[in-house]
Chain A
Amino acid sequence: MNIEQNLQKAEQLLEAWKKETTRPEPDRLDVSISVDDLHPAVGALHEAHWGYLSAITGLDLGVDSGQLESLYHFCNGAAITTLRVRLPRTGDAALPTIEDIIPPATFFERELHEMLGFKIVGARNIDRLFISDDWPEDVYPLRADFTIDQAKPVEGRHADELPEQGVVGGNTFVVPIGPQHPALKEPGHFEFTVDGEVVTAARMRLGYAHRGIEKAAESRNWIQNLYLFERVCGICSHTHAMAYSLGVEKLAQVEAPARAQAIRELVAGLERIHSHLLWLGVTAHEAGFDTLFMYSWRDRETVMNLLEQLTGNRVNYSANVLGGVKCDIGVEQAKAIKDGLNYLETRIRHYLEVVTTDTMFLNRTRGIGTISFAEAENFGLLGPTARASGLVRDVRVEAPYGAYKQFPISAVTATNGDLEARCVVRLNELLVSCFAIRTIIDNLPEGPLTVKMPRKVPAGETIARVEAPRGELFYYIKSAGGENPARVHIRTPSLCNWVSVLEKAVGRQLADVPMLIAGMDPCFSCNDRLVTVTRTGERNTWSWKQLRQYGIEYYKQ
C-alpha cells in the first residue's frame, strides 16, 4: 500500500467525525475534529491498526485568537495523519485522555498539561514530568503571554520534592537511583521500591537537564536555531540538525543537492557507530564488565577521530547548514574513513562474538527484560529496543528521506526481545552502517554542496521524521513567514522507551535494574528540552557554609 492509499484509508476511518480535512503535503493528512470526537477517533485508528501514535504537539494560536490547539500525530509507514483539536484558552474545556487506548500517551499528555496548560480529563497521573516542583502553579511556559517574571520559584518547596522515603515497612524500602548515581551518565530520578532484592514498584521523574530549548527557539532566527537544536543531545546531535534542516528545507520548498544529502547520510552513519559503541561500553560497565567498557570506548576514539577529520569537531559536528552541508569529502578523508572502517569492522565482529558467547555476560543479559512483540506494540516502543522484539520501526526503511532512497539501509531485527537481542541488534546495525558508508564513498554524487535558502521561510507547517540511533526523532516545525520560527516541537525516541524500563523492572532483582535502564539506551538530554530555566537575576550561589548546612539538614531525616 503506498502513501496515497494509506491516507485514503485513514480518511475513511475518520469519516464519521471529521469536520475538515486538508493535505498540506503529499504524505500528510490533517483532520480537524471536535474535542468530544477525539476519543472515538483515536479508538478507530487504533482498532484498525493504522500506524502508531508518534507525538502530541500543543500549539498556542495567539492571545488574539483565544485558542489552543493540540495535534495528535499518527504515523503509518511514510504516511502521517494528524488529528487537530481546538480548545479555548480560558475556561473549563478539557481534553479527554487517550491513555486507556494508547498507554504511552500519558507522557505526551503530561507534557501538554505542564507546558501549555491543557486540562486532561481522566488521566491517572497528571504530575509534572519535566518542570521542577517549585515552579508556580498556573504558569505555562510555552504560552504566548508567558513572561520571564512569572517564573518565580514558590517559597518553601524544593525543586525536587521527593515523596516520603525511608523504610516503608518490614523489608520494603525505596531505593533511589538518581539524580546523582554512578549508574547514570546523566541525571534522572528513579525510585524502586525493593523488598529484599526484588523490585516491587517503579517510579520515574525527568527534567533534570531541562534547558528550555523549544521556547528559546522562538526568539532566534532559523540559522541560529540550527545550532541550538544540534545541542539538544551530544550523541545524536547530527540527527537533530538533519531533521531540522530537512524540515526547514521542506517549508522553503528547497531541496539540498544530492551530494549534500549523501554526506549527511555518511555523517549520520558514523554518528550511529559512535553512539552504539558508547552504548556498548555503558551497558558493559553497568554489568560490571569493565574490560569491554574500556575496549569499546578505545575503539570509539577511532570513529571520533574520523569525524573530527571530516567535520572539524568530535561532538556537535556542525556538518549541516540550511540547504546542504559545510564539509566536503576529499580523497584523503575518504581513505582515512575506509581505513578506520576496516579496523572498526574487525572490532565490531569481535564484540558481537563476545556479547553472544561470553557465559558470564550472558548471565546478566540473556532472558532479562524480555519484551514480546505484542508488548512492544502496546508500549509504543521505538528504535533498536523495538527492533529487538521483532517490531520493525525504522524511519530509514519505512519512510526514506534524503539520500536513503539512493543508498538504502536494511532493517536489523531480532526475535527474543531480551537484553542480549538488543546488543545483537545494535551491533549488527553497525555492520550495516559500515557497509552503507563504504557504498556512499564509492558512489558519491557530484555537485554543489549547498543551495540558496531564503532568510524568511514561507508560512506553513511541516513534519520531519528521522531515525536517530535511539529511534524515531519527530520534529514539528511551524513558520509564520518571519525570520524566527513560530513553534518547534521535538519528540525524542527516549521519551517513548521509558515505559519498557518501568514495566519490566517490577518482579526483577535490583541488580538487573541498571541493565534495564541501559538496555533502552536512554538519552536524558534528548528528553529534557522544554521551558526556560534561566531565571536571570536570580542566581543561587551558595556559600560553602550554606552548602554544608544543606547537606547536614538533608541527611538528618
Chain B
Amino acid sequence: MRFGTMLKDIVDSFFKKSATQLYPIERTPPPKRYRGALFYDPKACTGCCLCVKDCPSKAIELVILDRAAKRFVLKYHMDRCVYCGQCVVNCKFKCMGMSNEDWEHAVLKKEFMVYYGKEEDIAQFMENIATPVTGATSG
C-alpha cells in the first residue's frame, strides 16, 4: 500500500516536453499506408465498374463517355466516402489508390464532389450535364 505511486511520472514530466502536438503549427506526416482521399488514374481503367459495385456508401460513380475509346469520368463524393479502400482492392488494373497526403478535409459545404479523368473528358461530361444527352451513364 503506497501513497502517490505516480510521483516519479509527475516529477519527470514537469521537466520533459509535453505530449501534446500543437496542430496546426506542428504537423506529423501520416505513414505511407494511411488512407486519405482517393485518386484515380484514367489511363489504365477499362470501365469494369467493380469499384462502384462494392462501395459501402455509394461514394464513386463511373461515367462512361465512350467505352471503346476508354473515355471515363470518375465522380467521387468525398463526403460519402468512408475511406475503407475496398475500391482499391477490387481494381485489377491498379488505377486507384488512397493518398496519404490529402487528408485534411474540413470544408464548409457538405456536398463535396471531385471529378477525375482526362481534361477533355471532364469538359465533355460537364457539357453533357448542362445539355442532357441520352446515352451511356452508369453507376
Residues of A within 8 A of B (CB): 220-221, 223-228, 230-231, 291-292, 295, 298, 301, 305, 308-313, 316, 318, 321, 326-327, 350, 353-354, 357-360, 362
A-side contacts of B56, CB under 8 Å = 220, 223-228
A interface, by DSSP: helix, strand, loop or mixed? helix
> Do B84 and A227 have beta carbons less than 8 Å apart?
yes
Partner of B35, one of A225, A312, A350, A358: A312
A-side contacts of B83, CB under 8 Å = 313, 318
A-B contact pairs, 7 of them (CB 8 A): A223-B56, A224-B55, A309-B33, A311-B33, A312-B31, A312-B33, A316-B82
> Do B3 and A318 have beta carbons less than 8 Å apart?
no
- Bound-complex Cα distance A231 to B57 (A): 12
Residues 69-89 (chain B) with a chain A CB within 8 angstroms: 82-86, 89
A-side contacts of B41, CB under 8 Å = none
Most chain A CB neighbours (cut-off 10 Å) among B19, B31, B98 = B31
> A298-B19, A308-B34 are contacts. A292–B1 as well, Cβ < 8 Å?
no
Is the CB of B6 closer than 8 A to any CB of chain A? yes
B interface, by DSSP: helix, strand, loop or mixed? loop
- Minimum CB distance partner of A354 in chain B: B5
B-side contacts of A310, CB under 8 Å = 33
- Minimum CB distance partner of A301 in chain B: B19
B86-97 interface bits toward A, Cβ cutoff 8 Å, 1 = contact, 0 = none: 100100000000
- Minimum CB distance partner of B34 in chain A: A312
> Do A223 and B54 have beta carbons less than 8 Å apart?
yes
Is the CB of B139 closer than 8 A to any CB of chain A? no
- Bound-complex Cα distance A444 to B107 (A): 43
- Bound-complex Cα distance A413 to B69 (A): 66
Closest CB of chain B to A88's CB: distance in Å? 36
Residues of B within 8 A of A (CB): 1-6, 9-10, 19, 30-31, 33-35, 53-56, 82-86, 89, 98
> Do A227 and B86 have beta carbons less than 8 Å apart?
yes
Partner of B31, one of A231, A309, A359: A309
B-side contacts of A301, CB under 8 Å = 19
B-side contacts of A316, CB under 8 Å = 82, 84
Partner of A224, one of B5, B19, B54: B54
> Do A295 and B2 have beta carbons less than 8 Å apart?
no
- In the complex, besides A231-B82, A326-B85, 12 extra interface pairs with C-beta distance below 8 angstroms are A225-B56, A227-B84, A295-B6, A301-B19, A308-B30, A312-B34, A312-B35, A354-B6, A358-B2, A358-B6, A359-B2, A360-B3
> Do B86 and A313 have beta carbons less than 8 Å apart?
no
Closest CB of chain B to A310's CB: distance in Å? 7
> Do B86 and A327 have beta carbons less than 8 Å apart?
no
- Minimum CB distance partner of B13 in chain A: A295
> Do B6 and A291 have beta carbons less than 8 Å apart?
yes
- Bound-complex Cα distance A228 to B1 (A): 47
> Do A318 and B31 have beta carbons less than 8 Å apart?
no
A-side contacts of B82, CB under 8 Å = 227, 231, 316
- Minimum CB distance partner of A359 in chain B: B1
- Minimum CB distance partner of B58 in chain A: A224
> Do A357 and B2 have beta carbons less than 8 Å apart?
yes
A-side contacts of B5, CB under 8 Å = 353-354, 357-358
> A220-B56, A224-B54, A318-B84 are contacts. A291–B9 as well, Cβ < 8 Å?
yes
- Bound-complex Cα distance A357 to B56 (A): 48
> Do A359 and B3 have beta carbons less than 8 Å apart?
yes
Partner of B34, one of A224, A230, A295, A313: A313
> A313-B83, A358-B2 are contacts. A321–B35 as well, Cβ < 8 Å?
no
> Do A362 and B10 have beta carbons less than 8 Å apart?
no
- Bound-complex Cα distance A316 to B54 (A): 18
- Minimum CB distance partner of B1 in chain A: A359
- Bound-complex Cα distance A230 to B5 (A): 38
- Bound-complex Cα distance A326 to B2 (A): 47
Closest CB of chain B to A244's CB: distance in Å? 13
